Structure 1
Amino acid sequence: MVDICDLDLIGSKLEQNGLVINLTKEYYQQQVIEQQEAQELLQKCDIANLVGDRIVKQALEMRLAKEISVKRIAGVPFLMIYKFQHR
C-alpha cells in the first residue's frame, strides 16, 4: 500500500459537508519522492491512496483508474486504487 499526496497539500485541512480531512506530515510525508519514483511505486503497489491534482493525474495517465473514480473533497482530488489479480 502506498499513500501519496501532492507536497503542496501537506499540512492542509480540507472541510466539506461536515467531513474534515487533515493531510498531516506524519501520515503523508514519510518521504519526498519525485514523479518517476511515484510512477514506479504506483506500478508495483496493490493499493494506492492518492491525494492532489498532480498525483491523481499521473495515475489517470498511467491508466490505473478512470476519471469517474476520482472524488473531490473541498475541490481536491482523491483516488483510491485496489488492484485485483487472478492467479
Structure 2
Amino acid sequence: MRGRFWVKVFRRGGHVLVAICDEELIGKTLRDEGMNVEVRRSFYGGRNLGLDDTIKALKEGTVVNLMGNEIVSVALRLRLVHPEAIVKIANVAHAQIVHL
C-alpha cells in the first residue's frame, strides 16, 4: 500500500462530509455496465495526504464517501465499513459511511 490519498472536507451546519479517493484515481472516469463514475478533482481533490492524516479525516466525517481499493481496505481494517456495504465499479471499491 502506497498510502497517499486525495481528501476533501466539506462542512455545512453540524455535518462534515469527507470525500477520499486513492491518489491514482483522481481525474479518472470508471466505466462499468453502462455506468460512468467520474472521480472529479472538484469533489475529491482537496489535499493529498498520507495514511495517518487521511485516517484522522476519515474519522472526522459524519458522512464519508470512499473511492478506491486502498482507502476502502483501510476503512475495513478500522471496522468503519461493513464488507457487504462495498460496491465495485470497474473493479474499484466504493463505500459510504453515514453516522446518524
TM-score, structure 1 normalization: 0.90
Q: Percent identity?
A: 29
Show the 5 A alignment for 1:6-85.
6-84=22-100
Task: Find the aligned partners of 1:62 and 1:71 in 2 and give their Cα distance.
Answer: 18
Q: Which segments of 5 or more consecutive residues in structure 1 lack a partner in the other structure?
A: none
How far residue 26 of structure 1 moved from its aligned partner, in angstroms, is 2.2
More strand by share: 2
Any runs of at least 4 consecutive aligned residues in structure 1 with deviations exceeding 4 A, and if so which?
Answer: none
Query: As a proportion of its length, which structure holds more helix?
Result: 1
Count of aligned residue pairs for this structure pair? 84
Secondary structure in structure 2 of the residue aligned to 1:33 = strand
